[in-house]
Structure 1
């Protein structure tokens, strides 16, 4: 796509009275990573289409073939939190507040919102994608919450979704940052459909031919029926199903089966275990290289996320983000992965077992009174 605009919008006719809207995240060289301006543009476009009675459905996709969206622009975050002066955290605070608030409203979109999951769908990009009420996983899909590798935490409502995945996949994905494919994602309920990467033109044409109405429930059902008939998972083998015995050996039948200190047992197993399965072994290596404080925080995230509403999760995760940008691991993780690219982060702890409750309490302490929370009126 030739336009330099980071967010592209267009509308196409589907009958005499109705229109389909298309939103394209247009930063392919950066794997469609989003910044604060782009977050605002996405939110404004969706709000406008929600109110426009002519628009019956919206499609979201990423420009190029590599990614729907690889998350937030973490290099820009790094530069801002390493600046000098009183305003060093101003951009990061505005970014996370804007991203979380706008993405929460994606979940409230009442018309068919179809997300085209081609290539990498990660981190904050996954937060945007998972808010869509119709999620297509292309055969090239690589879906992940990889924040453990940069000293952040799985965010943009990840606490809610990870806690509700079949055990132990939520813990495995969060602790290791492992990507899953289209077959995995559909089996886990993170997508509803699987299409070929080449099916975009056919999908668009078929959507234009639907008998759209002013009844949104009927429109949703038509989209479900159409994309279900197009779904094809041939040639895609599930990662997690193939290593289910290994995962059971690592995580047990339940978190409770690991005893009163599950992280202690998990940390030892994840550091010692070896597998000939390439996908599983890569996940183990990710954990070993990942941020110990993030691993400890993840255990608390999934415990609390299991009992919270989506709104409560989004509000709580903003607290975690506020503290994360003020703790050294986040900047160090970005430095090692993105800036210097030496892949040798110097974390504040050598293992998750060294992260005590005092440190975790600092990472989860709200700086605001309840009525002062930036997302209090979500």
Structure 2
């Protein structure tokens, strides 16, 4: 095996020579001390390199992974976003935040268009912006340690990077539970919900890589996809005993009760009053009790509207939500409380979901761009 390495500070790009005339491309998010959180520079590097690999006829397949043992990617670098939202210089304020979200969402959309086998190795935390990167892959693997989540309700943002598309297409009420509670889904439940296709123990990483390098690749992308599926399905079957039990199955009766009403105010009342001895359910309920009320309303709207939207429409709409989120105080306050000061006591603009007025929600969802001038009009 020969390796052609093109390093950067935060992302490593390698081209691994296989037994045929084709290579396997490997991208490693390389900021393990920050759980591989991505910033704008990383977003741009990833976008440019993966598009290059997609066009390079010598590359048969692409793999994405995270360095270290804790995470594939825990999301965007929200400290930099916080600095941008709170910048003392008015001329500089929000410049980075706007550029980050516009770059991130476009990059994720383009990843969805990759036609070569694109394999994402999900070990540890796969959250927020990291989940947006991960879920764009056409072959998604979860290890036994996978913790997959859209936890934005806890910081006053909203589940983004195409969450409106995916949460709205999960069997009811899984999407509502994921969005409103920010709960981590384990490997077994992620596979059941089709958020991943393969469950493979982390110790089989090298086995997977070696098997892929031994394949007889060609320029027929459909055949290459078949070969990837054959390798991953075999390893999936060999890893079944290492996988955790379903957490969703254990609380199915609770979720049926909590979401037997379609109204957010009724759901909120039930979630705040519900008693349980199940630790995972209790954690999700506690998350919701401390969560941003306006975000809860947005999540309900995302699931309702996202079900009727194409992926491109979702990405464009969510950029509108991001534009407004950085201009309204809940997001910066949530980051302050949960990440910057770590007092874990955010002071939301509204105390409960009942207190959130329609006008506030209208502001959060208002498109700031005139017709034809949306940044993604040519996406």
Pairwise same-fold verdict (TM > 0.5): yes
Describe the superposition over 1:260-310 as per-residue Cα deviations: whole angstroms up to 9, x where unpaired.
xx0111010011111110000000000001101100111111110010000
Describe the superposition over 1:177-215 as per-residue Cα deviations: whole angstroms up to 9, x where unpaired.
000100000000000001111111111100011111110
Q: Distance in 1 between matches of 2:355 and 2:275?
A: 23
TM-score by length of 1: 0.96
- 2:303 alignment partner in structure 1: 302
> Residues 96 and 321 of structure 1 are in contact (CA less than 8 Å); yes or no, is this contact kept in structure 2?
yes
1:76 has 2:77 as partner: no
Q: Distance in 2 between matches of 1:6 and 1:47?
A: 18
- 1:37 alignment partner in structure 2: 41
User: What is the DSSP-based 3-state SS (H/G/I as helix, E as strand, rest coil) of the residue aligned with 1:114?
Assistant: strand
Q: Distance in 1 between matches of 2:166 and 2:194?
A: 10
- 2:332 alignment partner in structure 1: 331
Q: Distance in 1 between matches of 2:127 and 2:210?
A: 28
- 1:315 alignment partner in structure 2: 316
1:12 has 2:20 as partner: no
Unaligned runs of 5+ in 1: 253-257
Q: Distance in 2 between matches of 1:214 and 1:79?
A: 46
CA shift for structure 1 position 241? 1.2
Describe the superposition over 1:97-128 as per-residue Cα deviations: whole angstroms up to 9, x where unpaired.
00000110000000000000000000010000
1:204 has 2:209 as partner: yes
1:159 has 2:164 as partner: yes
Q: Distance in 1 between matches of 2:283 and 2:347?
A: 20
Query: Mean alpha-carbon deviation: is it higher for 368-377 or for 311-320?
Result: 368-377
- 2:358 alignment partner in structure 1: 357
> Residues 370 and 376 of structure 1 are in contact (CA less than 8 Å); yes or no, is this contact kept in structure 2?
no
Query: Mean alpha-carbon deviation: is it higher for 367-376 or for 323-332?
Result: 367-376
- 2:4 alignment partner in structure 1: none
Residue pairs, 1:218-237, within 5 angstroms: 218-231=223-236, 232-234=239-241, 235-237=243-245
1:49 has 2:49 as partner: no
> Residues 38 and 73 of structure 2 are in contact (CA less than 8 Å); yes or no, is this contact kept in structure 1?
yes
TM-score by length of 2: 0.96
Q: Distance in 2 between matches of 1:370 and 1:13?
A: 48
Q: 2:253 aligns with which of 245, 255, 260?
A: 245
Q: 1:360 to 1:156 in 2, by over 3 A?
A: same
Describe the superposition over 1:300-351 as per-residue Cα deviations: whole angstroms up to 9, x where unpaired.
1111001000000000000000000000000000000100001000000101
Unaligned runs of 5+ in 2: 1-6
- 1:149 alignment partner in structure 2: 154
> Residues 20 and 216 of structure 2 are in contact (CA less than 8 Å); yes or no, is this contact kept in structure 1?
no
Aligned length: 370
User: What is the DSSP-based 3-state SS (H/G/I as helix, E as strand, rest coil) of the residue aligned with 1:377?
Assistant: coil
Q: Distance in 2 between matches of 1:283 and 1:97?
A: 30
Runs of 4 or more consecutive aligned structure 1 residues displaced over 6 Å after TM superposition: none
CA shift for structure 1 position 154? 0.2
> Residues 21 and 49 of structure 1 are in contact (CA less than 8 Å); yes or no, is this contact kept in structure 2?
yes
- 1:287 alignment partner in structure 2: 288
> Residues 267 and 353 of structure 1 are in contact (CA less than 8 Å); yes or no, is this contact kept in structure 2?
no
RMSD: 1.1
Describe the superposition over 1:23-52 as per-residue Cα deviations: whole angstroms up to 9, x where unpaired.
000110000000000000000111100110
Describe the superposition over 1:127-169 as per-residue Cα deviations: whole angstroms up to 9, x where unpaired.
0000000000011000000000000000000000000001000
> Residues 20 and 215 of structure 2 are in contact (CA less than 8 Å); yes or no, is this contact kept in structure 1?
no
Q: Distance in 1 between matches of 2:8 and 2:42?
A: 13
Describe the superposition over 1:222-257 as per-residue Cα deviations: whole angstroms up to 9, x where unpaired.
1111101101232410111111011001112xxxxx
- 2:195 alignment partner in structure 1: 190
Q: Distance in 2 between matches of 1:41 and 1:191?
A: 25
CA shift for structure 1 position 15? 2.4
Q: 1:60 aligns with which of 48, 51, 64?
A: 64
CA shift for structure 1 position 4? 6.5
1:98 has 2:106 as partner: no
CA shift for structure 1 position 353? 1.4
Q: Distance in 2 between matches of 1:95 and 1:81?
A: 12
> Residues 183 and 233 of structure 1 are in contact (CA less than 8 Å); yes or no, is this contact kept in structure 2?
no
1:109 has 2:110 as partner: no
CA shift for structure 1 position 16? 3.9
